[in-house]
Amino acid sequence: MFFYLLVLLFLVSCSNDLGGNAQIDWNTADIRITTPAQLRELRDSVNAGNSFENRTITLANSLDLGNNETNQWTPIGTEYHPFRGTFNGNGNFIRGLFINSNTRHQGLFGVVGNAGVVKNLGVIVEILGNGRYVGGLAGANHGVIEKSYATGTISGDNTVGGLVGTNHADGIIENSYALTSISGNARPANFGGLAGNNSGILVNSYFSGNVSGWQNVGLLVGANSDRGIIGNSYASGSVNGTVSVGGLVGISSEEATVCSNSAERTPAQMMWQGTFSGWNFTDIWGIEASRNDGLPFLWVFRW
From 13-17, 124-128, 163-167, 233-237, the region with the lowest mean pLDDT: 13-17
Give pLDDT tens digits for 140-152: 999 999 999 999 9
Report how far apart, in Å, the C-alpha atoms of 14 and of each of 11, 230, 258, 262 are: 10, 8, 8, 9
Report the pLDDT value the prediction gives residue 1, as an integer from 0 to 100.
47
- pLDDT-derived band at 21 (thresholds 50, 70, 90) equals low
Report the pLDDT value the prediction gives residue 22, as an integer from 0 to 100.
61
Q: What is the CATH number of domain 3-270?
A: 2.160.20
The dihedral built from the CA positions of residue 33, 298, 191 and 209, taken in this order, carries a sign that is negative
Asked whether the predicted pLDDT for residue 259 surpasses 90, the reply is no
CB 163 within 8 A of CB 145: yes
Asked whether the predicted pLDDT for residue 94 surpasses 70, the reply is yes
Mean pLDDT across the chain: 92
Report the pLDDT value the prediction gives residue 185, as an integer from 0 to 100.
73
Report the pLDDT value the prediction gives residue 88, as an integer from 0 to 100.
98
Distance of CA 29 to the CA centre of its chain: 26
- pLDDT-derived band at 264 (thresholds 50, 70, 90) equals confident
Q: Give start and end residues of each alpha helix (H) in the chain.
A: 36-47, 267-270
Mean pLDDT of 227-253: 96
Asked whether the predicted pLDDT for residue 110 surpasses 70, the reply is yes
Distance of alpha carbon 299 from alpha carbon 86, whole angstroms: 22
CB 225 within 8 A of CB 253: yes
Distance of alpha carbon 172 from alpha carbon 167, whole angstroms: 7
Asked whether the predicted pLDDT for residue 13 surpasses 70, the reply is no
Report the pLDDT value the prediction gives residue 302, as an integer from 0 to 100.
73
Q: Are strands 249-252 and 243-246 parallel, antiparallel or unpaired?
A: unpaired
Report the pLDDT value the prediction gives residue 250, as an integer from 0 to 100.
96
Report the pLDDT value the prediction gives residue 239, as an integer from 0 to 100.
96
Asked whether the predicted pLDDT for residue 46 surpasses 70, the reply is yes
Mean pLDDT of 1-27: 59
- 12 vs 281, which has greater pLDDT? 281
- 126 vs 264, which has greater pLDDT? 126
Mean pLDDT of 166-195: 94
